[in-house]
Amino acid sequence: MTSSRTPRPSAPSPLALIATRIVAESLKPDPCLAELSDMARSDAGFAVRLIATVNSGAFGLRRQVSDVMQAISLLGTRGVRNIGLGLAISDMVPAKAEARVLLANSLRRAVAARAIAERMGLEKPDELFSVGLFLEVGLLSRAREDLVGAVELARRPAAHRPVFERAVGLECHGQVGARIAREFQLPEAVQAAIREHHARVPPSEPISRLAWVAERVAAAFEAGDVTKNRALGLEALALVGIQGDAAAEVFERVPKEAAAAAVAFDRDIGPQSDLDSLARDAQRSLVELNVEYEAVIQRLEQIVAEKEQLALELQHANERLSTQAATDELTGLLNKRAFTEAMARDFARARRAGTPISLVMADLDWFKRLNDTRGHLAGDALLRALGPSLTASVRGGDVVGRFGGEEFVLLLPNTEIDHAMIVAERVRRAAEALVVPFDGEPIRCTLSVGVAVSDAGAGTPDQLLERADAALYAAKHAGKNCVRRASGERGGLASRVA
- pLDDT for 492 beyond 50: no
Q: Which residues contact 273 (CB under 8 A, 6 or more apart)?
A: 221, 255, 281
Could you tell me if residue 1 is inside a domain? Answer: no
The model's pLDDT over 128-162, given as tens digits with 9 standing for 90+, comes to 887 888 898 888 888 878 888 888 888 888 888 88
pLDDT of amino acid 2: 43
pLDDT for 387 equals 92
User: Same domain for 353 and 446?
Assistant: yes
pLDDT at residue 51 in the model: 75
Structure confidence by residue, pLDDT tens digits, 96-128? 788 888 888 989 998 999 999 999 998 777 778
> Is 495 within a domain?
no
Structural domain tally of the chain? 2
| pLDDT of res. 364 | 95
- 291, part of any domain: no
pTM over 0.85: no
Interhelix angle 125-134/100-119, rounded to 10 degrees, is 150
Comparing 293 with 492, the larger pLDDT belongs to 293
Asked whether residue 133 falls in the same domain as residue 274, the answer is yes
Cβ 42 vs Cβ 52: under 8 Å: no
Q: Are residues 267 and 403 in the same domain?
A: no
Whole-number mean pLDDT of the chain?
82
Which residues is 483 bridged to in the sheet? 449, 497
Q: What is the pLDDT of residue 497?
A: 40
Of 248, 282, 316, the position where a domain reaches its end is 282
Q: Say if residue 101 is in the same domain as residue 196.
A: yes
Q: How far is CA 433 from CA 35, 253, 364, 421, 442, in A?
A: 81, 84, 13, 18, 12
List pLDDT tens digits, range 31-69: 666 776 777 666 666 677 677 777 766 555 566 777 777
Does 222 lie in the same domain as 88?
Answer: yes
CATH number, domain with residue 423: 3.30.70.270
**278 and 348 both lie in a single domain:** no
Q: Is the pLDDT of residue 498 over 50?
A: no
257 & 349 share domain:
no
Which of 256, 282, 308 delimits the end of a domain? 282
Residue 365 lies in a domain: yes
The residue type found at 170 is: L
Query: Do residues 362 and 408 touch, judged by C-beta distance below 8 A?
Result: yes
> What is the Cα–Cα distance from 252 to 104, expressed in whole angstroms?
16
Q: Is 395 exposed, middle or buried (0-12, 13-18, 19+ CB in 10 A)?
A: exposed
CATH code, domain carrying 207: 1.10.3210.10
317 within domain boundaries:
no
DSSP per residue, 397-442: T-EEEEEETTEEEEEEET--HHHHHHHHHHHHHHHHH--B--TTS-
Q: What average pLDDT does range 362-376 have in this prediction?
A: 93
Q: Give the residue among 416, 418, 414, 384 at the shortest CA–CA distance from 399.
A: 414
Cα torsion 209, 210, 213, 217 to 10°: value is -170
Residues 247 and 350 in one domain: no
In a domain, 4, yes or no: no
Q: Give the pLDDT confidence score for residue 495 in this predicted structure.
A: 32
In a domain, 299, yes or no: no
What domain range includes position 108? 14-282
pLDDT at 285: 43
Shared domain check, 361 and 431: yes
Number of H helices, E strands in the chain: 21, 5
Last residue of a domain, one of 282, 311, 346: 282
Report if residue 498 sits inside a domain.
no
Tell me the per-residue pLDDT of 445-482, one tens digit each, with 9 for 90 and over: 999 999 999 987 778 999 999 999 999 999 999 999 99
The per-residue pLDDT for range 295-339, each reduced to its tens digit, is 667 777 777 777 777 777 777 766 665 555 668 889 989 999 999
202-212 tens-digit pLDDT: 999 999 999 99
Predicted local distance difference test score (pLDDT) of residue 262:
80
Residue 343's pLDDT is: 92
Q: Note whether 55 and 122 are same-domain residues.
A: yes
Residues 158 and 66 occupy one common structural domain: yes
Clarify whether residues 342 and 428 are in a common domain.
Answer: yes
- DSSP state letter for 282: -
Q: For residue 17, is pLDDT > 70? A: no
